[in-house]
Amino acid sequence: MDAVRMCCAGLDVHQETVVACVLKGPIEQKPQCHLKTFGTTTRELLGLQDWLNEHGCLEVVMESTGVLWKPVWNILEGSCDLVLANARRVKNMPGRKSDIQDARWLAQLHRCGLIEGSMVPEQDIRDLRDLTRYRSKMVQAVTAEKNRIHKSCRMPTSS
Which pTM does this prediction carry? Answer: 0.78
pLDDT of residue 159: 58
Q: Positive or negative, the Cα torsion across 74, 107, 81, 63?
A: negative
Taking the C-alpha atoms of residue 128 and residue 75, their distance in angstroms, rounded to an integer, is 19
The yes-or-no verdict on residue 24 having pLDDT over 70 is yes
Binned at pLDDT 50, 70 and 90, residue 95 comes out as low
CB 68 within 8 A of CB 13: yes
The yes-or-no verdict on residue 32 having pLDDT over 90 is yes
The yes-or-no verdict on residue 151 having pLDDT over 90 is no
Following CA atoms 102, 106, 107, 112 in sequence, which dihedral angle do they give, to the nearest 10 degrees?
A: 140
pLDDT of residue 89: 72
pLDDT of residue 94: 59
pLDDT of residue 66: 83
Residue at 21: amino acid letter: C
CB 17 within 8 A of CB 98: no
pLDDT digits 0-9 by tens, 60-83: 999 877 889 999 999 999 899 999
Helical residues (DSSP H) of 1-159, grouped into ranges: 42-54, 69-76, 99-111, 123-152
